[in-house]
Structure 1
Amino acid sequence: MDLTTAVPVADRAAALEQSDIRSVTRRVEEVGGINLGQGVCDLPTPQPIRDRAHRAIRNDESIYSHYAGIEPLRRAILEKERTYNDLPATSPEEVVVGVGSTGAFVAAAFTLLEAGDDVILFEPFYGYHRNILELTGATIHYVPLGGPESTFDPAVVEEAVGPATKAVVVNTPANPSGKVWSRGELNALLDLMKRHDLVALTDEIYEYMLYDDHDHVSLASLPGAYERTITLSGFSKAYNVTGWRLGYGVAPPPIAEKMGLMNDLLYICAPRPLQHAALAAFEDLDEGYVSQLQADYATRRTLMCETLEEIGFDVPWPDGAYYVLASFEDLAAVRAGFADDAAACTTLIEEAKIGSVTGRSFYEDPADGRYQLRFCFAKEIPVLEQACEQLRAAFG
């Protein structure tokens, strides 16, 4: 019996398709190109973290951990959130270690949302946020926000809020736009959340990737915000361990407890030996690790943005994260192969052997991303230099 035709799948599975990002990865691999599409940071993992992983495996740290994570790691995360993020958390019981920040987002979303709820998502959005929210059965209301130079407008959000609105998703620094929310913008959002009794899920995975003296402000650090916020982050981006799948959420005890139980139901626990290894991020790395990371990414940002400008893109330089969401509308008027984002993505693969992500991936209406491509610059400098040289050679 052919199960693919004889057995109908659930509606939540029937709608799933390979993302444009994954598709581009495959196409770039086929031509032996350089992938600036998928947000895979392929820089080396810091040696102290690798050493801790080896030690944990040698010590046979192999059984299930507590569903919310080993206590030493939860305590270390708690201390980091209290100091760097200025959260008023007081106990490791408020910390849940998940299977990546995406896994933590899944646990948070399924803890908070269900059919009949409405949730606000800002555009351009990260596709996994949208897709996971849809799986909860909640209805998404999209609110335009824009890129690094845009300013949050509470009135626009106010129009999107209805009697069923329960939550809002904030991504700062943002993927794909590179926008960093200011303290003033977050205060304005918090005022709205209080008036309408909303909860926030904040994805702060790029919290250390900041440029031009921008500061990272956690919504939950503002007075009166912590009790209505789930703060999400992780280790993948800052410590170059995207495949390890280690993230976490911090929330008030009643929410954290249910989120931890949801994490148990969905994943049992995060990989235990890697939880032990993650302690090195707090205990073994040099004090200057983050400042050096920021300096290195600033160099990459300059290389990527200047190259795109040279070949005709309009480039809003990101204030945070490690992506550029650039416009090629002017280029489309003078050069073949740039009729829209899908065509431009194909043209870059075929003529420069460079992968990017179509703008439509980040909007409810694909037309809003028609003249945009996203580029990831989380690459080793020689690889990024080669990618930029290929772009200049093809289109300069």
Structure 2
Amino acid sequence: MQSSPVLKSKLKSGISIFSVIGQLAAEYNAINLWQGAPGFTPDQVLVDAAFQAIRDGSNQYAPMPGVLALRQALATKTAKLYGAQYDPQTEITITAGGLEAVYAAITALVHPGDEVIYFDPAFECYRPTIQLQGAIPVPIKIPLDTMKIDWDLVRATITPRTRMIIINTPHNPTGAVLDQHDIESLMSATRGTDIVILSDEVYEHMVYDGMTHRSMARYPELAERSVIVFSLGKTFHVTGWRVGYCVAPAEIMKEIRMIHQYLVYSAPAPFQVAVATALNDEANYLRLTNFYEKKRDLLIGSLSESALKVQPCASGFFLLADFRAVSDRSDRDFVLDLLRRKRVGTIPLSHFYNDGADTGMIRLSFCQPDDVLREGGRLLSELDL
């Protein structure tokens, strides 16, 4: 009898809660308030452009840095929105979604023994990607009562081994955005250091109530040390197309491209061509603020009779809701119970913490059709006190 190879896992996290919820949601035919993927049909003009690109022969590998027309369109967009000039030849790279850009940037710039600061609750990919480089994740918790970063704590946490600080604004899952004080504090904390900033800005066009998205690209002192990640999939309701991008100074981007070429080489060519065409009309992305603000308000309104305590949300796709008035269970058990009893899929907030901290909160997604939001709100409002 042949012996099986002995395997040693590089990651101890196991199966993601997103996979668990996804499987159960399908089993119970649950209302989708858990997934951060827009539940809308993309614009027909964009779909037609993709088919046209296929008919026109864009069916082989795109250039490794991305289709030039798309990089040029993104350079124009970034200059208009943030007053920042990025060279499409050397400072913009198209990636297979924002997630690949995050992975490539961390892999390229972080080395064994380096420390990487990020802020909990955090998107799930940061910590494992840091660990896979042999580096040390250093999470700092954001107080949920204020949703504000403690910059005194950040400065105290920085050491000579700190290589990177990961910023996520607009923030998933809290919906918080950086303000001018945050920007000035980040400048002060990194000035005179070799720290690189990785700024995850995939929800750049979803900022509400008249607030401003303060991209690192707006501030030359930060831009010169920043890799900024964006998602065209989220912007155009086509997350399955896997088209994201990042911008960075040429010397930093050179390192990222060396990793990117061995991960996927290039994002899907016809989709890059189609999105480049869609970017010619800035209304395609500027209208998202009003579109999603209405979605947010609809879900909040649908929960107005619920015992859940909805937290303020200034941006993004997601609301946080405190359920402690209706249950003393762990958030994971509460989420699983919601699926079984109410057929509503949500995500436990503990999943976004390095230490699995149970805050008595769940994350709800509002990037869904209005009828889904109304029905989800109705079912959640039936929860007993």
SS in 2 for 1:306: helix
CA RMSD after TM alignment: 1.9
Could you say which residue in structure 2 is the equivalent of 1:335? none
Q: Does the CA contact (< 8 Å) of 2:70 and 2:272 recur in 1?
A: yes
Q: What is the Cα deviation at residue 393 of structure 1?
A: 3.5
The match for 2:147 among 136, 145, 150 is: 150
- Per-residue displacement from partner, 1:162-193 (whole Å, max 9, x unpaired)? 12101000001010000011122112112111
Could you say which residue in structure 1 is the equivalent of 2:379? 390
Matches within 5 A, 1:1-396: 6-13=4-11, 15-147=12-144, 149-283=146-280, 285=281, 287-332=282-327, 338-366=328-356, 368-395=357-384
- Per-residue displacement from partner, 1:366-388 (whole Å, max 9, x unpaired)? 2x334010111100112221222
Unaligned runs of 5+ in 1: 333-337
- Per-residue displacement from partner, 1:242-287 (whole Å, max 9, x unpaired)? 111100010000111221121111111111111101112312x4x5
SS in 1 for 2:202: coil
- Per-residue displacement from partner, 1:76-120 (whole Å, max 9, x unpaired)? 111111221332324431001000000111111111012110000
SS in 2 for 1:237: helix
Q: What is the Cα deviation at residue 213 of structure 1?
A: 0.6
Code of the residue aligned with 1:264 in structure 2: it is Q
SS in 1 for 2:326: helix
- Per-residue displacement from partner, 1:22-55 (whole Å, max 9, x unpaired)? 2111111101111211212121111221111001
Question: Which region of structure 1 is more displaced relative to structure 2, 196-205 or 245-254?
Answer: 196-205
Q: How many residues align?
A: 385
Larger helix percent: 1
Q: What is the Cα deviation at residue 196 of structure 1?
A: 3.3
SS in 2 for 1:207: coil
Unaligned runs of 5+ in 2: none
Paired with 1:6 and 1:275, the residues of 2 have a C-alpha distance of 43
Q: Does the CA contact (< 8 Å) of 1:187 and 1:222 recur in 2?
A: no
Q: Does the CA contact (< 8 Å) of 1:147 and 1:179 recur in 2?
A: no
Q: What is the Cα deviation at residue 394 of structure 1?
A: 4.5
Paired with 1:48 and 1:219, the residues of 2 have a C-alpha distance of 31
Runs (4 or more) in structure 1 with deviation over 4 Å come to: none
Code of the residue aligned with 2:194 in structure 1: it is D
Q: What is the Cα deviation at residue 130 of structure 1?
A: 2.1
SS in 1 for 2:10: helix
